[in-house]
Structure 1
């Protein structure tokens, strides 16, 4: 059996006098080893991408985290220098991709910025600097250059009892890392909360319209997929969903021949 292919979002990064369509290695490695699938990066080319042509060739979508924030104009907010940086070419690629992937019922795994993109794509809003709200913890990354320290498990989240994510992780209280400034504000219609932090911050959601694996997490399971049980289960379940979707599409194609 062939391995499923996962479309992975990219960022625009300036480097060596060029602009790169880039993704951190942890994401593609988590797909390759944690989900046993083939990662295929999608350049942030916005409307130049024929989404259906791309989706016809893959079996699922992974939306990565990033240093950039979703542009506030996309959810009725106002941009300012303190809330940046922004990557509007990524926004113009991922938001339409999310909507089309949901319409076509693809397996989706959205991480950190990915959760925020899914919420905005479906009509929700974001809190630009969640740590500035009274009663909220500081969810930003530790001030450290060592990546293990930056991605260290930082706080607990409560998995919603009886929710879809509980079928993957159990009705559990798990420990997660935390590297974000933005957070879900108004939850979009079509999303269900699957986990929350102790301060009420939405930490995971599912897409109602996609019956299989369609989850978004505010934390970064890709970083610890090799050693953390919850991270490993998430990527393994994503892999199972990819293979199920691939078999369904293959059977439809065979029946049509």
Structure 2
């Protein structure tokens, strides 16, 4: 996976390039969950992801409703310069990777699955910068033919990766788990090559790695915690933890979002250059 070109030197204080102005906040498509609230079904995204997109990546998050193939993805991709696939309380339905659905492993969100998987494949095919977080990493793996292991805390030798039981959100998302990073990887170029400590909280994980994916980080028990898309022309990273939560105070988290934002701006600048050349 190649890093996006740093275009910060080409953009002036007004956020413009020579000729036509570059958008100060390029549009980024963001996945949505289908949840019930106030007796209605909502297509919604948690605030922490949207806040991190704005303050950490410097982009304009555009929440995409989970209507699957009823949406014109070509029209969407003509407008956006990145895709962020968020975490969620739901899990990818096992039928999508050859498993059997069980309420024990739920809840599920098939409407989201029907939207995010084709969005991920299209983003990779079109070279759109991609950041996949927690459930998003699992969707990325399934979208590329991989499988997931459910309830991994029950496996002999595995750590319990689930969140701490607490009414305090900061305690639940506390940074506590040490990961080793693959040398000379996309992630090492972003956060450095040494071990990092993250807030990974999940009960399922990658089992068989999807085609075109490379392992970027491992937990102490061997659980895959980060992947990248091999040969992707732009930033395409999936992380199992939650960099969005501490983006303002944790430097590795901030670096991930800055790298994603830089890649999005690079694509926006390149697309603008192509459009100008055609005029």
The alignment's TM-score, normalised by the length of structure 2, stands at 0.91
Q: C-alpha separation between the residues in 1 aligned to 2:273 and 2:200? A: 41
Q: Answer yes or no: is the 8 Å Cα contact 1:34–1:236 preserved in 2.
A: yes
3-state secondary structure, aligned to 2:267: helix
Per chain length, whose mean CA-contact separation is higher, i.e. which structure has more relative contact order (CA < 8 Å, sep 6+)? 2
Q: C-alpha separation between the residues in 1 aligned to 2:176 and 2:34? A: 29
Cα distance, 1:178 vs structure 2? 2.0
Q: Answer yes or no: is the 8 Å Cα contact 1:225–1:235 preserved in 2.
A: yes
Question: In the alignment, is residue 125 of structure 1 matched against residue 142 of structure 2?
Answer: no
**Counterpart mapping for 1:99-110 below 5 A:** 99-110=121-132
Question: 2:163: which partner in 1?
Answer: 141
Question: In the alignment, is residue 54 of structure 1 matched against residue 76 of structure 2?
Answer: yes
Q: Answer yes or no: is the 8 Å Cα contact 1:7–1:58 preserved in 2.
A: yes
- Following superposition, which runs of at least 4 residues in structure 1 exceed 6 angstroms of deviation? none
**Counterpart mapping for 1:31-50 below 5 A:** 31-50=53-72
Cα distance, 1:167 vs structure 2? 0.6
Cα distance, 1:132 vs structure 2? 1.2
Q: C-alpha separation between the residues in 1 aligned to 2:278 and 2:97? A: 42
Cα distance, 1:210 vs structure 2? 1.5
Pick from 244, 261, 264 the counterpart of residue 222 of structure 1.
244
Question: 1:87: which partner in 2?
Answer: 109
Q: Answer yes or no: is the 8 Å Cα contact 1:176–1:219 preserved in 2.
A: yes
The structure whose Rg is larger is 2
Cα distance, 1:233 vs structure 2? 0.5
Q: C-alpha separation between the residues in 2 aligned to 1:159 and 1:248? A: 30
Question: 1:153: which partner in 2?
Answer: 175
Where in structure 2 are there 5+ consecutive unaligned residues?
1-14, 16-22
Question: 1:73: which partner in 2?
Answer: 95
Q: C-alpha separation between the residues in 2 aligned to 1:172 and 1:138? A: 23
Question: 1:114: which partner in 2?
Answer: 136
Pick from 212, 216, 223 the counterpart of residue 190 of structure 1.
212
Q: Answer yes or no: is the 8 Å Cα contact 1:105–1:209 preserved in 2.
A: no
Q: C-alpha separation between the residues in 2 aligned to 1:55 and 1:233? A: 25
Q: Answer yes or no: is the 8 Å Cα contact 1:102–1:209 preserved in 2.
A: no
3-state secondary structure, aligned to 1:21: strand
Cα distance, 1:236 vs structure 2? 0.6
3-state secondary structure, aligned to 1:195: strand
Describe the superposition over 1:11-62 as per-residue Cα deviations: whole angstroms up to 9, x where unpaired.
0000111000011000000000001111110001111111111011001000
